[in-house]
């Protein structure tokens, strides 16, 4: 088992390096090992000072993959939190505060924080800021995201709701920035979902509408973004549930989504991510036709449950006709034939063999085209021919 992405330097092999380059590398190694030893010795000696903390910063800047050092950093932070909370700086308003701290007390109490919380909030903000340049340099480093999540969890645990939710809101803004730089960053999307979840818990309200609008913005910027389509599909049933949408409103929304993705597909039928979203929408037809009308189904469905067979069949027929039209000018697009085959198969299952809804000769010709266009997956098409009895 491995985390993916062994660091890859662009330099040349050792044997090709000049004497000067080799000497420089030896110096770098000595410095790095020295810094590492310093941090480890200090932690062993329970030196939880600011100097130790700064040393972990320098080491992690050189090597953010070093997870043990992140653990050390958290031990140091926890120690400060513990000391702050034990220091008695727990009063929000202290009438007899000494002069020097008067300003602090007033600022803190204004924000609804105790002095200890004020300190903790400052430390958390500083550490979150420390991570930003690292994240920009190593956007896929698991341990950096992991440390951020820990800091924010501490905010939730130790700070008043308002302050914590401000921090999480800042995090959401950061994730949005990261997604502008790389709109498919897997960590960023999953981190976004958990960030939204935390804000929702803290603020006691749903962000589904905002997040749905965000996916609209993302797919409008770049249609070929499966991550955004995926998130959109996840939000849709929840959104409708929260809107307490009527059956008619649900149908309007479903039709609008189908139209949106169909228009996109007409523009670029070669785009896999669009097909996946189309598949997602049609998959909800089958799911809802087979589940009952309880509250649970309403939360996972787009159309009002239960969907009748008649409705499902009508939608599938409509989509098959529309996808057939896409072939015009895109006869070499294998995804079109795959979709036609898939939806026809589903249609036949729904119709339960009553009549041949899609002519077998048509299906056979689609399968022939797929096999011609997609020899890589020949084994799959042979299996499909068997299961379709073609």
Partner 1 sequence: MSLAAGPGRGRKAESKDLELVVDKHVAYVQALDTRRGELEYHLTEHLRISGIYWGLVALHLLGQPDALPRDGLIEYVLSCWCENGGFGAAPGHDAHILYTTSAVQILAMTDGFAELEAKNANRKRKIADFVAGLQQTDGTFAGDEWGERDTRFMACAFITLSLLGYMPAQRPNDNPVVNVDAAVSHIRACQNFDGAFGLTPGAESHSGQVFACLAALSIAGALDSTLPTSAKDRLGAWLSERQQPSGGLNGRPEKLVDVCYSWWVMSSMSMIGRLHWIDREKLVRFVLECQDPDEGGIADRPGDMVDVFHLCFGVAGLSLVRYEGLVEVDAAYCMPKHILDGVLGR
Question: Residue 121 interacts with partner 1 (CB under 8 A)?
Answer: no
Find the binder of partner 1 among 46, 82, 110, 380 (CB under 8 A): 380
CB closer to partner 1 out of 111 and 351: 351
Minimum distance of partner 1 from residue 32's CB (angstroms):
6
Give the Å distances, CA to CA, from 33 to 70, 119, 144, 219.
17, 33, 21, 47
Question: Residue 8 interacts with partner 1 (CB under 8 A)?
Answer: yes
Minimum distance of partner 1 from residue 150's CB (angstroms):
7
CB closer to partner 1 out of 90 and 146: 146
CB closer to partner 1 out of 74 and 169: 74
Find the binder of partner 1 among 38, 57, 63, 290 (CB under 8 A): 63
Question: Residue 291 interacts with partner 1 (CB under 8 A)?
Answer: no
Minimum distance of partner 1 from residue 235's CB (angstroms):
9
CB closer to partner 1 out of 105 and 196: 196
Closest to 261 in 3D by CA, of 299, 219, 210, 289:
219
Find the binder of partner 1 among 57, 185, 234, 253 (CB under 8 A): 234
Find the binder of partner 1 among 97, 149, 207, 385 (CB under 8 A): 149
CB closer to partner 1 out of 84 and 211: 211
CB 211 within 8 A of CB 176: no
CB closer to partner 1 out of 156 and 194: 194
- Name the segment binding partner 1 (CB under 8 A); options: 48-56, 88-96, 100-108, 278-286: 278-286
Contacts by 278-282, CB closer than 8 A, 24 or more apart: 278/319, 278/339, 279/339, 279/342, 280/229, 280/230, 280/233, 281/233, 281/254, 281/257, 282/315, 282/316, 282/319, 282/343, 282/346
CB closer to partner 1 out of 5 and 88: 5
Minimum distance of partner 1 from residue 106's CB (angstroms):
36
Find the binder of partner 1 among 377, 385, 388, 390 (CB under 8 A): 377
208-227 positions binding partner 1, by CB under 8 A: 224, 226-227
Where does residue 14 fall: left (phi above 0), alpha (psi -120 to 50 degrees), or beta otherwise? alpha
Question: Residue 111 interacts with partner 1 (CB under 8 A)?
Answer: no
Q: Interface residues with partner 1 (CB under 8 A)?
A: 1-4, 6-10, 12-15, 22, 25-26, 28-29, 32-33, 40, 62-63, 65-68, 71, 74, 146, 149-150, 184, 186, 189-190, 193-194, 224, 226-227, 230-231, 233-234, 272-273, 276, 279-280, 283-284, 375-380, 383, 387
């Amino acid at each position: 088992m491995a985390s993916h992405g062994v660091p890859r330097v662009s330099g040349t092999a050792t044997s090709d390096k000049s004497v000067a380059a080799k000497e420089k590398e030896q110096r770098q190694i000595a410095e790095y090992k020295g810094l590492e030893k310093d941090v480890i010795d200090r932690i062993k000696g329970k030196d939880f000072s600011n100097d130790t903390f700064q040393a972990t910063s320098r080491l992690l800047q050189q090597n953010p993959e070093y997870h043990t050092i992140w653990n050390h950093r958290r031990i140091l932070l926890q120690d400060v939190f513990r000391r702050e909370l034990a220091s008695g700086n727990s009063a929000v308003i202290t009438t007899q505060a000494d002069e020097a701290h008067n300003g602090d007390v007033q600022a803190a109490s204004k924000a609804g924080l105790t002095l200890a919380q004020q300190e903790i909030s400052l430390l958390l903000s500083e550490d979150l800021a420390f991570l930003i340049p690292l994240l920009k340099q190593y956007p896929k480093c698991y341990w950096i995201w992991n440390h951020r999540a820990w800091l924010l969890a501490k905010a939730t645990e130790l700070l008043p709701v308002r302050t914590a939710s401000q921090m999480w809101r800042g995090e959401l803004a950061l994730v949005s920035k990261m997604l502008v730089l790389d709109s498919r960053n897997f960590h960023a999307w999953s981190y976004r979902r958990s960030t939204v979840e935390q804000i929702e818990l803290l603020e006691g309200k749903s962000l589904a509408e905002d997040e749905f609008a965000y996916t609209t913005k993302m797919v409008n910027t770049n249609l070929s973004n499966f991550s955004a389509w995926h998130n959109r599909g996840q939000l849709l049933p929840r959104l409708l549930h929260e809107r307490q949408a009527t059956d008619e409103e649900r149908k309007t929304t479903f039709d609008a989504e189908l139209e949106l993705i169909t228009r996109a597909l007409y523009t670029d039928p070669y785009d896999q991510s669009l097909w996946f979203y189309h598949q997602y929408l049609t998959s909800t037809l089958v799911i809802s036709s087979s589940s009952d009308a309880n509250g649970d189904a309403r939360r996972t469905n787009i159309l009002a449950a239960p969907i009748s067979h008649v409705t499902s069949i009508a939608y599938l027929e409509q989509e098959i006709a529309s996808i057939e039209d896409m072939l015009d000018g895109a006869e070499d697009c294998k995804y079109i034939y795959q979709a036609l085959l898939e939806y026809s198969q589903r249609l036949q299952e729904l119709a339960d063999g009553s009549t041949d809804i899609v002519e077998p000769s048509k299906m056979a010709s689609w399968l022939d085209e797929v096999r011609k266009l997609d020899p890589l997956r020949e084994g799959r098409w042979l299996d499909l021919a068997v299961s379709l009895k073609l």
